[in-house]
Amino acid sequence: MTQSTPEKPIIALGPWLETQAGSYVRAWEESCLDALTVDIFGFNAVQIGLPQINALGANRMQNKWLTDTHAPADGDAEHPSRIVLVHDFAELPFASQSLDLVVLPHVLEFAAHPHQVLREVDRVLRPEGQVIVCGFNPASLWGARQVLGRLTGTHFLPLDGEFIGLPRLKDWLKLLNMEINRGHFGCYAPPLTTDKWLNRFAFMEKAGDRWWPYFGSVYILQAVKRVSGVRLIGPVWSKHKAKAAQGVPVADKLHHL
């Protein structure tokens, strides 16, 4: 299924994830996503964009899809078989209230209309469905390096992305009645480009989680779609049955369960 694709493809970030610094980010994100998605149940889960990250690898839903704004180029072996839909991120090709889980790995930062993407996610999610958003944290060493790169022209991360701070993202989700469930920060090492130097600062992962958790270079936020008036329905008991049950001995009640 192919639709018009006016949305910017995340081609700048995809190749960057193949670098040593990108592999560092990808490894942390996939580990965190595995832990978050393994116990999310339902029938339909979708990863929107960035096929370089396997966001649903640990999830056990029956139907899992990966979508993107463009098909893999000829000769590109980068997960070509995993992309099942090509579409505009601002117009999701799914029925309303049809999905149990949507994962957005760095999609909002590179989307031309991030608010519209979130509105579409809200539309396609079932009540109590969940959305997981991955993003770069502008309030971090990497965020500062990105600002410096825009001024000097020596960028570290792709320049065509607009990094979204966590408070701002929370406000957007709150407007859509999305309730924050949990969040994680990671990748505390300085913006370095080689495994050698990244490994030397590996100690900052545990230190960062303990002493400066909000300054991780990457965050993952999980939210639940809340719909007012929707609640789980149990067995309906009439007053007559309730009164009758009160006069039955406990042993008899257990016998008839």
13-17, 59-63, 157-161: segment of lowest average pLDDT: 157-161
Is position 1 within any domain? no
- pLDDT exceeds cutoff 50 at 255: no
Is position 3 within any domain? no
Structure tokens at 69: 């704004």
The CATH number assigned to the domain holding 213 equals 3.40.50.150
Is position 8 within any domain? no
pLDDT in tens, 183-209: 999 999 999 888 988 888 888 888 888
Q: How far apart are the first and last CA of the chain?
A: 50
pLDDT in tens, 127-178: 999 999 999 999 999 999 888 888 887 788 887 778 999 999 999 999 999 9
Give the rounded percent of residues in the chain with a pLDDT score beyond 70.
81
CB 36 within 8 A of CB 132: yes
CB 129 within 8 A of CB 100: yes
Centroid of chain to Cα 126: 16
- pLDDT exceeds cutoff 60 at 256: no
| 219 Rama class: left (phi>0) / alpha (psi -120 to 50) / beta | beta
Is position 62 within any domain? yes
Is position 159 within any domain? yes
pTM of the full structure = 0.81
Is position 86 within any domain? yes
22-31, 68-77, 88-97: segment of lowest average pLDDT: 68-77
- pLDDT exceeds cutoff 80 at 3: no
Is position 230 within any domain? yes
Q: Which domain holds residue 68?
A: 13-255
- pLDDT exceeds cutoff 80 at 42: yes
Is position 6 within any domain? no
pLDDT in tens, 111-125: 989 999 999 999 999
CB 84 within 8 A of CB 59: no
Structure tokens at 135: 């993003």
Q: How many domains does the chain have?
A: 1
pLDDT at 154: 79
**Quick one: 209 exposed, middle or buried, by C-beta within 10 A (0-12, 13-18, 19+)?**
middle
